[in-house]
Amino acid sequence: MTAILEQIKTKVTSALIKAFGEEMKAIDPLIAGTNNPKFGDYQSNVSMSLTKKLKKNPREIAQEIINNLDITDLCETPEIAGAGFINFKLKINYLETKLRTMQKDSRLGIEKVNQPQKIIVDFSSPNIAKEMHVGHLRSTIIGDSIARVLEFKGHQVLRLNHVGDWGTQFGMLITYLKEVYPSALTTADALDIGDLVTFYKQAKQRFDQDETFKETARQAVVKLQAGDEESLKAWQLLCQQSRREFQVIYNILDIHLNERGESFYNPFLPAVIAELESQNILQEDDGAKCVFLEGFTNKEGNPLPLIVQKTDGGYNYATTDLAALNYRIKEDQASRIIYVTDSGQSNHFAQVFQVAKKAHILPEKIEVTHVPFGLVKGEDGKKLKTRSGETIKLKDLLSEAIIYAQKDLETRLKNEERNETDDFIQNIAKTVGIGAVKYADLSQNRTTDYIFSYKKMLALQGNTAPYMLYAYVRVQGISRKGNIDFENLGENAKIILKEEQELILAKHLLQLEEIINEVEKDLFPNRLCNYLFELSQKFNIFFENCPVLQSEDTVKTSRLLLCDLTAKTLKLGLSLLGIPVLERM
């Protein structure tokens, strides 16, 4: 089934062509949902945009469109309002049948795309030997949700973890560990990442202060990059150590990723430089090889260079991203590539994309997008820290969410005088706690900073995971209470829309596909969160005003179908955010 918005668009476009000729094919029919039932359900502004072109007044244009419009299956006869708006009101029996079809279908009537794309989502991407921080948490949560939406739409998605596993940090670390803890370089599991991070900090300090150490560390990098066996083994052990620790976080969050770190592209780096050279865009600046950029200038107004090979011959983050881009286009055959990192890296990506275009690594038809996000802040508005002022470990941050969720649950159970098993309590605490962390992140417009507050994200009221989960549980409660099997309400069971609250809920349910399509295109998961929040609110109003189990026959069946479709919509929507539902809580 095509989203209603798309159907109306197609119909208006054909009417435009019929009325005003083929050139109308290229015109956007400017249709959007209305928020005011006075204007119907959808509205088109296209008449106003065509006055100059057609040399007619907009109401006249609107009338001609309507005269040529074949839309009786979907809508009542469209009306012209104000200056020349066309208002569309969906037919009730269209709504009724469409919703019933959705309710019967496991994909809720949402079709996969006709032409699936190969899409790469580059997300999470922490750095080896350094701690995974809240920025990586955001990238992980947002990237996973984007990947889920694209997968649901039928695209072939490659989820790539571009871990920072190469570079000068290893020379430093290997040199330092050789001195203080040599067994870490030869034996597996000798360190855990907590130690590794401490060693990294100490090594960095030595590197900055001690010239001899610095030189030895440099040589160690050269040795590693030259493929020295002992160095490679040490490097692998260090990576393994970090990887294990990252996996703990991915398991808690239920995230699946393919690791393809920076080191993977190492063999391709010289070819990138050669390519830039052969395209005549490589220049030398202070001994470094670089490409001068358009639109990026220094304080004096001179163009900035993107360095791709340092004076000492070493490559950097940008070189690796150029090689990665080339590989992803040529070898992976991706036609859309999405990078999820904090907005601090916006310039980096704009620069890499610009150079890649110039070098013909990145053809016009490939869509590359940086998906930036803001910072996570503590409740004091400053950088998120522990009470004693240290940076928060992700593992602790997540376990604390679960602990808070458990406390809330236990208080509620006590108040309701309910007795539940430990398994039940732990399962709910985990789902609610982790769901709350994910939802709090995803429900924000990702480009803004957000404040991390356990209290807010775990609130049972408001735009939170617990509120949404609770709405779902409410429906399951109805089926338990009334002994109802939603899947067996009979082939002839129908949705009948009479009450205003039923209609409001029905029209909202119908918008799911449009919202998912928007996220597929614009990559803002908070739209889906807002949609689900409004859905829960509309459902609660419906539920308070329209008796379900106490109604008679056909009305009861119809309302049960609405309840079930609401629950299924919540379940699907939450699953696209990476949040599972609960049957009871």
Pick 140 or 569: Cβ nearer ligand ARG: 140
Task: Output the six-digit token pair for 181.
Answer: 């803890």
464 SS3 class: coil
Pick 78 or 167: Cβ nearer ligand ARG: 167
Radius of gyration of the chain (CA): 28
Least gap, CB of 126 to ligand ARG (angstroms):
6
Residue identified by tokens 């890649």 is 356
Contact 290, 306 (CB under 8 A): yes
Q: Is 127 a residue that touches ligand ARG (CB under 6 A)? A: yes
Contact 374, 448 (CB under 8 A): yes
Sign of the torsion formed by the C-alpha atoms of 543, 546, 547 and 552 = negative
Q: Is 431 a residue that touches ligand ARG (CB under 6 A)? A: no
Strand partners, 336: 119, 367
Least gap, CB of 108 to ligand ARG (angstroms):
33
Please identify, among the stretches 124-132, 533-541, 548-556, 576-584, the one whose residues bind ligand ARG according to the rule CB under 6 A.
124-132
Pick 33 or 372: Cβ nearer ligand ARG: 372
Nearest to 397, CA basis, from 368, 434, 370, 362: 434
Taking CA atoms, 305 is separated from 251, 275, 298, 324, 350, in Å, by 41, 17, 10, 20, 13
Please identify, among the stretches 118-126, 185-193, 211-219, 492-500, the one whose residues bind ligand ARG according to the rule CB under 6 A.
118-126
Least gap, CB of 139 to ligand ARG (angstroms):
7
Site for ligand ARG in 374-403 (CB under 6 A): none
Q: What is the distance between the alpha carbons of residues 420 and 11, in angstroms, rounded to a whole number?
A: 55
How many positions of this chain bind ligand ARG (CB under 6 A)?
A: 10
291 SS3 class: strand
Least gap, CB of 151 to ligand ARG (angstroms):
20
Determine whether 348 is exposed, middle or buried from the number of CB atoms within 10 Å of its CB (0-12, 13-18, 19+). middle
Contact 153, 113 (CB under 8 A): yes
Pick 323 or 570: Cβ nearer ligand ARG: 323
Q: Is 164 a residue that touches ligand ARG (CB under 6 A)? A: yes
Q: Is 131 a residue that touches ligand ARG (CB under 6 A)? A: no
Of 13, 44, 45, 125, which one interacts with ligand ARG (CB under 6 A)? 125
Least gap, CB of 336 to ligand ARG (angstroms):
15
Pick 86 or 163: Cβ nearer ligand ARG: 163
Nearest to 543, CA basis, from 497, 486, 474: 474
Q: Is 140 a residue that touches ligand ARG (CB under 6 A)? A: no
Q: What is the distance between the alpha carbons of residues 421 and 417, in angstroms, rounded to a whole number?
A: 13
What's the count of helices (H) and strands (E) in the chain, helices before strands? Answer: 20, 14
Pick 324 or 401: Cβ nearer ligand ARG: 324
Q: Is 162 a residue that touches ligand ARG (CB under 6 A)? A: yes
Pick 244 or 407: Cβ nearer ligand ARG: 244
Q: Please give the DSSP secondary-structure letter assigned to residue 113.
A: P
Tell me which amino acid residue 457 is: M
Pick 44 or 125: Cβ nearer ligand ARG: 125
Bridge pairing between strands 336-342 and 118-122:
parallel
Least gap, CB of 167 to ligand ARG (angstroms):
10
Question: Which residues, 6 or more positions from 436, have their beta carbon under 8 angstroms from its beta carbon?
Answer: 401, 405, 454, 457, 458, 464, 465, 466
Site for ligand ARG in 338-357 (CB under 6 A): 339, 341
DSSP of 341-396: EEGGGHHHHHHHHHHHHHTTSS-TTSEEEEEEE--EE-TTSSB-B-TTSPBPPHHH
Please identify, among the stretches 119-127, 178-186, 437-445, 511-519, the one whose residues bind ligand ARG according to the rule CB under 6 A.
119-127
Site string for ligand ARG, 70-109 (x = CB under 6 A): ----------------------------------------
Least gap, CB of 51 to ligand ARG (angstroms):
47
Contact 319, 269 (CB under 8 A): yes
Please identify, among the stretches 123-131, 294-302, 465-473, 543-551, the one whose residues bind ligand ARG according to the rule CB under 6 A.
123-131
Please identify, among the stretches 122-130, 189-197, 406-414, 543-551, the one whose residues bind ligand ARG according to the rule CB under 6 A.
122-130
Site string for ligand ARG, 321-340 (x = CB under 6 A): x--x--------------x-
Q: Which residue is nearest to ligand ARG (CB)?
A: 125
Please identify, among the stretches 120-128, 144-152, 172-180, 380-388, the one whose residues bind ligand ARG according to the rule CB under 6 A.
120-128
Q: Is 122 a residue that touches ligand ARG (CB under 6 A)? A: yes
Contact 346, 370 (CB under 8 A): yes
Pick 45 or 140: Cβ nearer ligand ARG: 140
Site string for ligand ARG, 510-549 (x = CB under 6 A): ----------------------------------------
Tell me which amino acid residue 58 is: P
Pick 325 or 532: Cβ nearer ligand ARG: 325
Q: Is 370 a residue that touches ligand ARG (CB under 6 A)? A: no
Pick 140 or 431: Cβ nearer ligand ARG: 140
Question: Which residues, 6 or more positions from 228, have their beta carbon under 8 angstroms from its beta carbon?
Answer: none
Pick 44 or 319: Cβ nearer ligand ARG: 319
Contact 87, 79 (CB under 8 A): yes
Site string for ligand ARG, 282-321 (x = CB under 6 A): ---------------------------------------x
Q: Looking at beta carbons, which pairs linking 426-429 to residues 24 or more positions away fall under 8 Å?
A: 427/582, 428/582, 428/585, 429/402, 429/403, 429/405
**Interacting residue ranges for ligand ARG, rule: CB under 6 A:** 122, 125-127, 162, 164, 321, 324, 339, 341
